[in-house]
C-alpha cells in the first residue's frame, strides 16, 4: 500500500498537466498487466461475504442457525461457506 502511495505522489509531482496520465507513471507500472476484472471482483465479493458471515456469527453469539437466518442463507449453505473461507 505504501508503494502505491509513493507511486501516486510521484506521478502527481511529475505530471505534465493538471491530470495524471499513464505517461506520468513509472515504466514498471505502465508495463504491468492489469488484473482481470473478474478476478478482482470475485475477491472483493468473497471478502465482503467473509465479513458479513463473521458479523452475523458475532451477532448470533456463534449460533450458526441464527447467523444463517440473519444472512438469509440455509444452514447448509452457511456451513459450506464457513468451510470455504476457513471460518469457525
Mean pLDDT of the chain: 88
Question: How far apart (Å, rounded) are the C-alpha atoms in residues 63 and 44?
Answer: 26
Domain of 6 in residue numbering reads as 1-32
C-beta atoms surrounding 47 within 10 Å: 11
Number of domain units in the chain:
2
Position 38 scores a pLDDT of 74
Q: Looking at the structure, do residues 2 and 23 belong to the same domain, yes or no?
A: yes
68 in the same domain as 46: yes
Tell me: do 24 and 52 sit in the same domain: no
Task: Quote the pLDDT of residue 54.
Answer: 95
Q: What is the structure's pLDDT at 41?
A: 86
Query: What pLDDT score does 50 carry?
Result: 95
Whether the per-residue pLDDT at 1 is higher than 90: the answer is no
If phi > 0 it is left, if psi is from -120 to 50 it is alpha, else beta; for residue 44 that is alpha
Are 22 and 41 in a shared domain? no
* Cβ density class 53-69: b for 16+ within 10 Å, e for less: beebbeebeeebeebbe
Amino acid at each position: 500500500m505504501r508503494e502505491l502511495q509513493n507511486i501516486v505522489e510521484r506521478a502527481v509531482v511529475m505530471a505534465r498537466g493538471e491530470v495524471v496520465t499513464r505517461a506520468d507513471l513509472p515504466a514498471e507500472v505502465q508495463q504491468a498487466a492489469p488484473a482481470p476484472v473478474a478476478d478482482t471482483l470475485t475477491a472483493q465479493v468473497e471478502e465482503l461475504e467473509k465479513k458479513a458471515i463473521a458479523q452475523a456469527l458475532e451477532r448470533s453469539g456463534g449460533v450458526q442457525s441464527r447467523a444463517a437466518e440473519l444472512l438469509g442463507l440455509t444452514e447448509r449453505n452457511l456451513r459450506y461457506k464457513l468451510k470455504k473461507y476457513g471460518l469457525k
